[in-house]
Amino acid sequence: MRVLVVTAVPVERDAVTRAFGGGTGGSGSGTEVSGGDTEVLSLLPGAELHRTGAFDVLAGGVGPAAAAAATAFALASASPAAAPSPYGLVVSAGIGGGFAPAAPLGSLVVASAVVAADLGAETPEGFAPVTALGFGRDRFTPPPALVREVASATGAAAGPVLTVSTVTGTAERAAALRAAHPGALAEAMEGFGVAEAAERAGVPVLELRAVSNAVGPRDRAAWRIGDALAALTEAFGKTAPVLEGWHRHDH
């Protein structure tokens, strides 16, 4: 079983591949990257698929639309000619904001639910999710057993992770998200897009985030991006054996 890991930006992708002993640098189809056995394949214009062992890691772009498009393209390209075997799992990975105190800086979060937190409509009574309007869906549920195993292996907290198109920047908005989604641990911008594409391809999804900042007022001086990227690398080092041993029929 191959695993497709989709991040937003190259620095997140490289944090993941470092967990597998892969280096960075190099380009073009079939190029081996120094520092590991990572192969870099051209997938999309301006995007590269970094293949190392059973894992293909792609920086798909920022936001749910870019993430969905990149994930769908990668899944559609997973033919016998393009990959040794079809993908059995898609992982949305990267850094994100954590809801304090449950998800402090540098901690890890694995999604028990991938939730589209701002997909819907504003009404006089407040925000109405897209499902209340009678359309589509606003959440996906990763395999519960896999969530538990990843949480156990990495020490991550398990709970809902929100996908937003506009990152939270005020205490008022953070409070509104907490009220609308009790128990939410983190927010990011790509998980729901990745999950939407995976669902349409019939492939399970997982979301794993390292917390770089607190959800709320934007205080760049307090962000710990380097620490979060290091935590992401460590997390995938511990997660890889779990994912490699997991089978879709496991519950």
> Which tens digit of pLDDT belongs to each residue from 22-44?
654 433 333 333 335 778 877 76
- Under 8 Å CB-to-CB from 19, ≥6 apart: which residues? 233, 234, 235, 236, 237, 239, 240
> Which tens digit of pLDDT belongs to each residue from 173-220?
999 999 999 999 999 999 999 999 999 999 999 999 999 999 999 888
- Tokens representing 186 are 């983190």
Which residue type sits at 26? G
Q: What is the largest CA-CA distance in the chain?
A: 57
pTM here is 0.88
> Which tens digit of pLDDT belongs to each residue from 112-133?
999 999 988 988 988 888 888 8
Homologous superfamily (CATH) for 2-245: Nucleoside phosphorylase domain (3.40.50.1580)
CB-CB contact of 111 with 161 (8 Å): yes
Give the start-to-end residue ranges of the domains of the chain.
2-245
